Structure 1
Amino acid sequence: MPPVATALTIAQLFANAAQAYGDRPAIEDAGHSISYRQLDQLRRQAARALLALDVQAGDRVAVWAPNVWEWIVAAGALQSVGAALVPLNTRMKGSEAGYILRESGACVLFAIGEFLGADYPGMLVAEDLPDLRHIISLRGANTGTLPWERFMDLAADVPQLALRTREQGVGPQALSDLLFTSGTTGKPKGVMTSHGQNLRIVRDWSDIVGLREGDRYLIVNPFFHSFGYKAGWLAALMRGCTILPQQVFDVQAVLDCVQRQRISVLPGPPTLYQSLLAHPQRGDFDLRSLRVAVTGAAAIPVEMIHRMRDELGFGTIVTAYGLTEVCGFATICRSGDSAEKVANTSGRAMPGVEVRCVGSNGRSQPANIPGEVQIRGYNLMQGYFNDPQASEATLDADGWLHTGDIGVLDEEGYLRITDRLKDMFITGGFNVYPAEIEQCLLTYPGVAQAAVIGIPDERMGEVAMAYLLPAPGIEIEPARFLSWCREQMANYKVPRRVQVLQSMPINAAGKVTKNVLREWALQPAG
């Protein structure tokens, strides 16, 4: 086992990786190459700069940016001084980001200056953020922000010894991150996990998928998501891979990058591989360097797995299942599993993790009988931040996490997710929670009731569809309504279709019957 794998904190991981991999390239980003040794120096410099800003152990520090090298330096630095990382989704609008910054009590925010035409710090101007003391602009100068270079210069005022002392006080049980996940209540909840449990599960994951020193890892999954962060750059640093961050998914750009940069590892949602296979110019690119694919989050046709092997050249293709509440990892296929196993299941439990499917009687179901998926193990969250009630509802007294997903386990312990207890659906790899969208839609003038479901979409898997009940005497213009939605919420949450109803279908308890709405959605328009 390389010394890197023995790290108990993320600061130790960076330091051990610098010793083990030295001048090997850790990150290559837009012509900028950073060796493992340089990456550790940058991490320590940024950590001392955070000490200069009086960031304390236990504080929360947020990062709101696309996949860039500074993201990794900022995350490693804040975790080195004992703060918890709060990643923000780059698709969020100001009010969505503001909510998470307030809930987490973040004292510092690292933000991209501008991305895809949006001024990120500018989006927060109208937000009341009493705990936020500093916004550091990772790229570009924005009014009222501290530019990255000036932030890094602050380290000069803090001795190395101060950082060493702080690092020694950060142990494996310390909070490493607070990832906000939307819930069925419509309010995002902060999932608390620690350094030690994350490093242990990332170690096992990278071992199972077969990451190797010198692998060239194109990270298309966003760093703000546990896949892009934990199975992404954290796993890559542990194994001595070279990280190539991709800011926006663009099929042509990915094909070009694979050929030019000799990419060997390319995880992503099924839509990524479907897009590559469907690209008309795919045959013009040399993709022989590809070796490892990891996917999940949606049903996959067996034929697609065969085509990924035959046409894209992947030697290892595995599917996996996980939740933010279990550090992102619960089950995974193993190398050598058949195409049918990979396509039809999410693999079996990670080492040291138990998975069961439980019936309404509270007992484990026999093989191939559906039940609620429950998980137990060292990878379970510490709870939801400042929400003991929600934590208690999700984690039972016997240490099982209730996922709200319905699944079946076969005789070999391979899991297949069959349904979602909580109405959640997945758009292009992002979890979408109808209750959260519904709360937003109710603020639109004239909407008396709103119900959101997921409808099939060839490219994205599923997308949101909204059913609206207007207040008496009010007319809702669908095009204007959808335009408003695009201004209010992240693009992946925006309904792609809207239907105005005269009455909502409800059950005896007065709740909207979404299965009726799903049936309506499948009927031809007219």
Structure 2
Amino acid sequence: MIKQLQPASLQFYKNVLRANSQPHTTHYLGRCLSTQPAEFIKSHNFHPAHLHHIGKTPLIYRSVGQELERAAAEYGSTESIVSFHEQKRYTFQGLIEEADRVAAGLLKLGLKQGDHVGIWAPNNMHWYLTLMGAARAGLVSVGINPAFQGPEVDYCLKKVKVKALIMPETFKKQNFYEIIKSICPELPDRVDGSINSTSLPHLKHVIIDTDSKLKGALSFDQLLGLSNPVEREAISKLQHRIVPDSGCNVQFTSGTTGRPKAAVLSHYNFVNNGTHIGNRNLLDSNSRICVQVPLFHVYGVVVTVMAAMTHGSTLVLPAAGFSPADTLRAIVDEKCTVVHGTPTMYVDLIKKQRELKLPLKTAQMAVTGGAPCSPQLFLDIKNVLGLERIHTVYGLTETTAVVFQTKPGDSMERILNTVGHLQDHVEVKVVDGEGHTVQFGEPGELYVRGYATMLEYYDDEVKTKETIGNDKWLKTGDQFILESDGYGRIVGRLKEMIIRGGENIFPKEIEDFLNSHPKIIETHVIGVPDERLGEECCAFVRLQDGVKSIAREEVKEFAQGKLAHFKIPRYVIPINAFPRTTSGKIQKFKLAEEYNKMQRQ
């Protein structure tokens, strides 16, 4: 016991606690310290920012498919999802029946357990059915941003070897069928029921939610009709063969190289993070959640979909893409009690509500995440939308969404000034540049360990080891302050990631692309403050000799169809020379200073 240690040994145990390299030793010593914490801490002025929050609800060893069976058995007649814009709705019992048709259809096409199914689509019913069907079939769903253009989709399909791709025919101004044909020209010439593509050798099937007959593609209705009752019944028997620790979903998340990494999340990650998120948000079978966030994102698929499913709550999709007016009308018509969105979405929602003044009588709670939310916006959400409670979440794709979250009954001061309390069954610590644990209240990098951490970056052992050490601590890259009561605050980002309206953007991808413009020699991109979106992309560019200027519209036109719209810089600023360190590295903080100086002029 610590109280019996000789003075010469005390420093050794202090160092062990500081390093936190052996979890079992740390927990044992923590229990020893609890016998006389005041004496130890007071004598040695040592308050390590390390917590492991054990929740009251135990972790569940269950696959997504098994969890859906449980939900269908317990909440069978409750509506699981309503697509307001498509006028479609399913109960939990109807959902599992339709999901099994999707599962059996995909297996009938020749897919095998562990194969990847891409979902490149906005918030339509077929997105949700595909997610559940893939999970029930033991397949791995892959969320692809519907704003992605041909080259970006091509990269995603190749990176994780997508075997079947499910999508709509069109969304907004995009024709998905024409885009996929541009990267897979063999599609119209499908032979013996499958695609034989030179550039995309793994892609065998394209399934489109459409009434049109498109060469080389199956319709989603055709997929649903492929199987017979016996094959659909076999899906239920398949569930015990799907290991909860196996991959369930792939989320693309950019890295410092600018090329998206593919985070593999397990069934176990999904079911448990969804369960504990729903517990904190007090969800039950009477909850009706209006979904503004995109389903392909971890916010949509875990914070929203899985939290609702595990608690028998109803999801309401107001529109295929974000639409404040449709959200407000869906809240009223579908009697929604909860709203999910990013801070940017709430800015637009508040603006529209001030205009429409609709009676949002049933709405009780807003959940916000994906980017920092200002105190004033919190107050506007509460006052203008007339909500009783506001909850915030903080996490990463690599941690299956949520690490910190508001607790029921938290004061407004807590909500305004923290990202919430440490989630159940999650362990965290905050470390300095040398990897030593700092004290509570001191800034450092947040490390996370526990059930929620991803399995790996797909086919990228190097990046996986850079992010998750042998001790299983996951490095978030976020500068963070942890308090001894379990609440946390974000100080800044150690990475260069820009968060624009909830979209994660990494500069290097944009820099590499703009450097291919005939007028540009060199580009460096930074995030600059924006009242509505939180941050915007600002590109500083050095132009070719003889070129005097470049307009933002030229850059926008150049990027059309090649970069997602949210990655196209809002500001393009020519510069004669970039500020550099003596070793040649760009000093981006000086670019930010230059931008601020220009704003003041």
TM-score w.r.t. structure 2 length?
Answer: 0.84
**1:433 corresponds to:** 506
> Residue 241 of structure 2: which of 154, 158, 169 is its match?
169
Distance 1:303 1:499, change over 3 A: closer
SS at match of 2:391: strand
> Residue 398 of structure 1: which of 457, 462, 471 is its match?
471
Aligned residue-pair number: 523
Q: Which amino acid aligns with 1:251?
A: P
**1:138 corresponds to:** 209
Residues 420, 487 of structure 2: 8 Å contact kept = yes
1:152 and 2:206 correspond: no
**2:566 corresponds to:** 492
> Residue 338 of structure 1: which of 405, 408, 411 is its match?
411
CA deviation after TM superposition for structure 1 residue 310, in Å = 3.5
Matches within 5 A, 1:160-239: 160=232, 162-239=234-311
Residues 345, 416 of structure 1: 8 Å contact kept = yes
Residues 121, 135 of structure 1: 8 Å contact kept = no
1:465 and 2:538 correspond: yes
**1:57 corresponds to:** 113
Residues 114, 139 of structure 2: 8 Å contact kept = yes
**1:503 corresponds to:** 577
**1:19 corresponds to:** 73
Residues 370, 407 of structure 1: 8 Å contact kept = yes
CA deviation after TM superposition for structure 1 residue 485, in Å = 2.2
**2:13 corresponds to:** none
Q: Which amino acid aligns with 1:313?
A: G
Q: Which amino acid aligns with 2:262?
A: G
SS at match of 1:101: helix
Distance 1:7 1:16, change over 3 A: farther
Structure 1, residues 138-164: CA drift from partner, whole Å, max 9, x if none? 234333210111111111286245434
Distance 1:477 1:304, change over 3 A: closer
CA deviation after TM superposition for structure 1 residue 314, in Å = 2.1
CA deviation after TM superposition for structure 1 residue 307, in Å = 3.6
Distance 1:322 1:280, change over 3 A: closer
SS at match of 1:159: helix
Q: Which amino acid aligns with 1:25?
A: E
Distance 1:207 1:89, change over 3 A: same
Tell me how large the CA RMSD over aligned residues is: 1.9
Distance 1:242 1:322, change over 3 A: same
1:512 and 2:586 correspond: yes
Structure 1, residues 91-134: CA drift from partner, whole Å, max 9, x if none? 11011011010000000001111100211132122323111000
Structure 1, residues 149-204: CA drift from partner, whole Å, max 9, x if none? 11111112862454345333211111101111011111111101110122011101
Q: Which amino acid aligns with 1:212?
A: D
- Cα distance in 2 between the residues matched to 1:389 and 1:513: 27
**1:48 corresponds to:** 104
- Cα distance in 1 between the residues matched to 2:596 and 2:95: 52
Residues 140, 147 of structure 1: 8 Å contact kept = yes
Q: Which amino acid aligns with 2:160?
A: S
Residues 394, 405 of structure 2: 8 Å contact kept = yes
1:298 and 2:349 correspond: no
Matches within 5 A, 1:53-452: 53-127=109-183, 128-141=199-212, 142-156=214-228, 159-160=231-232, 162-245=234-317, 246-279=319-352, 281-282=354-355, 284-452=357-525
Between 443-452 and 476-485, the greater mean CA deviation after superposition = 476-485
CA deviation after TM superposition for structure 1 residue 366, in Å = 1.2
SS at match of 1:191: strand
Q: Which amino acid aligns with 2:554?
A: R
Q: Which amino acid aligns with 1:200?
A: N
- Cα distance in 1 between the residues matched to 2:556 and 2:107: 45
Q: Which amino acid aligns with 2:543?
A: P
CA deviation after TM superposition for structure 1 residue 476, in Å = 5.2
Which stretches in structure 2 are left out of the alignment for 5+ residues?
1-58, 184-198
SS at match of 2:141: strand
- Cα distance in 1 between the residues matched to 2:352 and 2:113: 48
Q: Which amino acid aligns with 2:542?
A: L
SS at match of 1:505: coil
Over the matched positions of the two proteins, sequence identity in percent amounts to 29
Residues 393, 404 of structure 2: 8 Å contact kept = yes
Q: Which runs of 4+ in 1 moved over 4 A?
A: none
Residues 353, 384 of structure 2: 8 Å contact kept = no
**2:3 corresponds to:** none
- Cα distance in 2 between the residues matched to 1:216 and 1:299: 25
SS at match of 1:288: coil
Residues 255, 282 of structure 1: 8 Å contact kept = no
Residues 68, 247 of structure 1: 8 Å contact kept = yes
Q: Which amino acid aligns with 1:152?
A: L
Distance 1:251 1:467, change over 3 A: same
Between 490-499 and 138-147, the greater mean CA deviation after superposition = 138-147
Which stretches in structure 1 are left out of the alignment for 5+ residues?
none
**2:26 corresponds to:** none
Distance 1:491 1:227, change over 3 A: same
Q: Which amino acid aligns with 2:101?
A: Q
Residues 49, 158 of structure 1: 8 Å contact kept = no
CA deviation after TM superposition for structure 1 residue 286, in Å = 0.8
- Cα distance in 1 between the residues matched to 2:371 and 2:233: 48
- Cα distance in 1 between the residues matched to 2:180 and 2:540: 30
Residues 528, 535 of structure 2: 8 Å contact kept = yes
